[in-house]
């Protein structure tokens, strides 16, 4: 096999391991693992938010340490997310949904330790399988990657967006609309080919484009925090749990069902190579595979069968390694998390494709080792600290929310180190909350934002080098036809299920309040389409195509929704794979209550900004934390003060003294420069 005969590959892999084992890089890997484990415990927060939080702090790090920390976090989020899933029946992330089916019944039987131990062990083995498949696959695909040109990479990128856009639950066209909107956001700023200013409104902040970080944090982090503020309850109820009981038995269960672990691990890695298939899908596919192939599974699954937790967990951790194959080789991220990693790579100056398999092969293999080592560290820590980790899920929202908010503000400001980042965070946070509440898929928007830049670049290069002939290249034709088939597949399924009757109006037309979101996106599409027409061809071709697709998809989805009853819409689109967790439905809570609580949450956001503009970031952190805990939760003064001081000291030491992040200026710092010399964040 080429993997074992290619001495350059083996040399690069060995060098990458030595680089990664250097103490300072290993420390950052462990930090990433700890962050990933902690985030996986918080239902509704998710590893995607953790990825967005860590990216800004990698800007001043060397690439090996930066990607080790990011992959360390991403690799183990689906290891610790089983703790709330098994103990409380609350998935820590979307990737642990299937684990609840048998994990919670095992807890009710007094077998929580056994279930968690089986999860950790299968996650460890699955993660190692994924890393191995990634290591073996990269040399195999390298000759193929070197033989393709820009048009083929463009076709693969379009196919990746098409895959993700249609995996959007019961309304696939929403995914297309969100992806197109993300691409248009990525086109804001100066067009590289022509120098044309696009939709900047004369603002200097927008001339270099909207930074990725405020959009990421606004779309993913703020909606989860807002949801905690709306629900106003602890993440989970307390539950008694013995950390040691059953741990040994869970390890033996995994060893007994080793073939199931290997099968599901390989399945997870292969699924991860398909762009758009997220962890929310992988665990269900693996669970279904085990249900169909394991002896007696149809009688015992969902009642507390240990195989029901082994199958999805081994697949989930293996998926991380598989998902890096299309991203590193072709620049096509397998999901929103890989899109964030792709953005971080581009910030560090690395472009996915042939260079990652030639010039930067040692960096590529450092990612392989990062995944393997992270899974080992993560599983080991989970075994040691399960009892303590479980307590985090019982914390009140008034303790969790202000702490994470403070980190979000620091992270968002690293986008361009401008106050515009914080205003962008607010705008996209409101948009993200609306999308989450109305069950609009958010990952396609981020994929569009990241891949839109690459699509426009590859399209320009293709036209310059090949004219229009690149459209006739066999590989491009196949990929574009596949993309068209994927985009049209929901329509084909609907027609096959119900025939032309599915397109006829049913009942009286009804325009609902949530349909206003379609009006918003249609308005955006028309505005960008019209304003782009006076520009030069290279500057307007991308916006014209994307805006047209956005308007068409939004209009079709809106019209279909108006002229069909809700039941008809659900039936016509049944079977879609939802790639995003929506808001928690609470039938006892009125829309007015939800809106008022959300407005109250963003009121605290504005209060933080106002206070920060006056006295600076670090002094604002304890003020807002204490105020929030006292006003929202009536927490005791000692608890408020101690937590606020701990968070403030931690932020100062880590972000200012160790990572050396930039801080926004304040009026107090301008009036009294001597204070800024003492406290850099003022």
pLDDT of 600 reads 93
DSSP string computed for 500-536: GGGGS--SS----GGGHHHHHHHHHHHHHHHHHTTS-
pLDDT tens, residue by residue, 333-384: 766 677 778 878 877 888 777 777 777 888 888 888 888 888 888 888 888 8
pLDDT tens, residue by residue, 183-202: 999 899 888 778 889 998 88
Which residues have CB under 8 Å from 401's CB, separation 6+?
225, 228, 229, 628
Neighbouring-strand partners of residue 197: 190
Q: What is the dihedral angle through the alpha carbons of 606, 608, 613, 614, rounded to the nearest 10 degrees?
A: 120
Confidence of residue 163 (pLDDT cuts 50, 70, 90): low
> What is the spatial distance between Cα 105 and Cα 89, in angstroms, rounded to a whole number?
9
pLDDT at 615 over 70: yes
Residues 209-224, mean pLDDT to the nearest whole number: 81
Tokens matching residue 168:
């959007």
> What is the spatial distance between Cα 457 and Cα 460, in angstroms, rounded to a whole number?
5
Tokens matching residue 382:
């989970």
Tokens matching residue 581:
């967790």
Confidence of residue 571 (pLDDT cuts 50, 70, 90): very low
> What is the spatial distance between Cα 214 and Cα 409, in angstroms, rounded to a whole number?
9
Lowest mean per-residue pLDDT among 113-122, 409-418, 542-551, 570-579: 570-579
pLDDT of 403 reads 82
> What is the spatial distance between Cα 302 and Cα 314, in angstroms, rounded to a whole number?
18
> What is the spatial distance between Cα 611 and Cα 286, in angstroms, rounded to a whole number?
49
Task: Tell me the CA end-to-end span of the chain in Å, nearest whole number.
Answer: 59
pLDDT at 3 over 60: no
pLDDT tens, residue by residue, 635-661: 899 999 999 999 888 878 867 776 566
Share of the chain above pLDDT 70, in %: 79
> What is the spatial distance between Cα 682 and Cα 680, in angstroms, rounded to a whole number?
6
Residues 653-672, mean pLDDT to the nearest whole number: 73
- Residue-averaged pLDDT of the chain: 78
pLDDT of 428 reads 93
pLDDT tens, residue by residue, 106-143: 877 777 788 888 888 998 898 889 888 888 887 777 66
pLDDT of 531 reads 94
pTM of the full structure: 0.69
Handedness of CA 420, 656, 338, 65 (dihedral sign): positive
């Amino acid at each position: 096999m080429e993997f074992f005969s290619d001495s350059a590959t083996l040399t690069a892999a060995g060098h990458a391991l030595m680089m990664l084992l250097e103490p300072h890089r290993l420390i950052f890997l462990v930090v990433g693992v700890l962050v990933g484990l902690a985030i996986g415990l918080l239902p509704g927060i998710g590893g995607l938010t953790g990825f967005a939080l860590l990216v800004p702090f990698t800007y001043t790090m060397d690439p090996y340490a930066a990607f080790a920390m990011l992959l360390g976090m991403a690799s183990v989020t689906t290891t610790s997310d089983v703790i709330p899933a098994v103990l409380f029946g609350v998935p820590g992330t979307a990737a642990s949904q299937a684990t609840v089916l048998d994990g919670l019944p095992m807890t009710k039987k007094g077998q929580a330790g056994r279930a968690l131990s089986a999860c950790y062990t299968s996650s460890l083995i699955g993660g190692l399988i994924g890393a191995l498949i990634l290591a073996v696959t990269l040399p195999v695909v390298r000759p193929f990657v070197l033989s393709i040109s820009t048009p083929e990479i463009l076709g693969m990128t379009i196919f990746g967006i098409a895959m993700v856009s249609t995996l959007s639950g019961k309304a696939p066209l929403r995914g297309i609309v969100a992806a197109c909107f993300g691409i248009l956001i990525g086109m804001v700023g100066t067009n590289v080919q022509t120098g044309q200013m696009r939709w900047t409104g004369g603002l200097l902040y927008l001339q270099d484009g909207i930074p990725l970080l405020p959009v990421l944090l606004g779309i993913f982090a703020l909606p989860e925090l807002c949801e905690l503020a709306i629900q106003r309850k602890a993440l989970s109820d307390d539950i008694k749990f013995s950390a040691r009981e059953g741990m040994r038995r869970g390890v033996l269960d995994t060893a007994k069902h080793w073939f199931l672990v290997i099968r599901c691990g390989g399945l997870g890695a292969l699924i991860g190579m398909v762009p758009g298939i997220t962890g929310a899908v992988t665990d269900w596919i693996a669970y279904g595979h085990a249900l169909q192939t394991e002896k007696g599974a149809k009688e015992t699954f969902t009642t507390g069968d240990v195989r029901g937790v082994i199958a999805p967990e081994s697949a989930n951790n293996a998926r991380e390694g598989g998902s890096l194959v299309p991203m590193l080789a072709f620049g096509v991220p397998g999901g929103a998390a890989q899109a964030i990693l792709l953005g971080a790579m581009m910030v560090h100056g690395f472009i996915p494709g042939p260079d990652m398999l030639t010039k930067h092969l040692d960096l590529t293999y450092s990612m392989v080792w990062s995944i393997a080592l992270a899974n080992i560290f993560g599983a080991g820590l989970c075994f040691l600290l399960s009892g303590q980790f479980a307590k985090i899920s019982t914390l009140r929202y008034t303790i969790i929310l202000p702490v994470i908010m403070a980190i979000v503000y620091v992270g968002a400001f690293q986008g361009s180190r401008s106050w515009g980042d914080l205003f962008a965070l607010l705008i996209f946070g409101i948009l993200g909350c609306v999308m989450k509440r109305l069950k609009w898929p958010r990952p396609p928007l981020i994929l569009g934002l990241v891949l839109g830049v690459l699509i426009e670049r590859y399209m320009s290069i293709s036209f310059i080098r090949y004219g229009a002939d690149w459209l006739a290249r066999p590989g491009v034709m196949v990929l574009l036809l596949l993309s068209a088939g994927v985009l049209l597949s929901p329509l084909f399924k609907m027609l096959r299920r119900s025939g032309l009757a599915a397109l006829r109006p049913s009942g009286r037309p009804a325009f609902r309040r949530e349909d206003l979101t379609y009006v918003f996106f249609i308005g955006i599409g028309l505005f960008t389409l019209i304003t782009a027409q006076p520009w030069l061809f290279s500057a307007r071709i991308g916006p014209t195509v994307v805006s047209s697709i956005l308007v068409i998809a939004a209009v079709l989805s809106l019209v279909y929704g108006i002229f069909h009853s809700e039941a008809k819409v659900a039936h016509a689109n049944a079977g879609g794979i939802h790639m995003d967790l929506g808001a928690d439905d609470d039938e006892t809570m009125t829309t007015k209550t939800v809106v008022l609580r959300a407005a109250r949450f963003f009121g605290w956001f504005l209060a933080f900004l106002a206070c920060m503009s006056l006295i600076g970031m670090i002094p604002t952190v304890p003020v807002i934390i204490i105020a929030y805990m006292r006003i929202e939760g009536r927490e005791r003064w000692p608890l408020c003060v101690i937590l606020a001081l701990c968070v403030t000291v931690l932020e100062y030491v880590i972000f200012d003294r160790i990572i050396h992040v930039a801080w926004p200026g304040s009026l107090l710092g301008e009036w009294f420069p001597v204070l800024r010399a003492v406290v850099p964040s003022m």
